Amino acid sequence: MSGLACTKKVVEDEDAQELRLGEDFTDAHCLSMDEVNLICAAKLGDDLDKIGEPTSTTQTKVFEMTNAYVRRFAKEAASRQTEAFRNLYAQAGLTDFEGAIMVNLNFGDYEEAIAHLPSLARKGDDGILIHSEEKVSKLIDDMADVRRFE
Dump pLDDT digits (tens) for 103-130.
999 999 999 999 999 999 989 899 999 9
Q: What is the pLDDT of residue 74?
A: 86
How many domains does the chain divide into? Answer: 2
pTM of the model as a whole: 0.77
Measured from the Cβ of residue 109, the count of other Cβ atoms closer than 10 Å reads 13
Is pLDDT above 80 for 52? no
CA dihedral 85, 89, 92, 94 (to 10 degrees): 180
90 shares a domain with 54: no
Residue 84 lies in a domain: yes
- Residue 55, domain extent: 33-73
Name the least confident of 43-52, 58-67, 131-140: 43-52
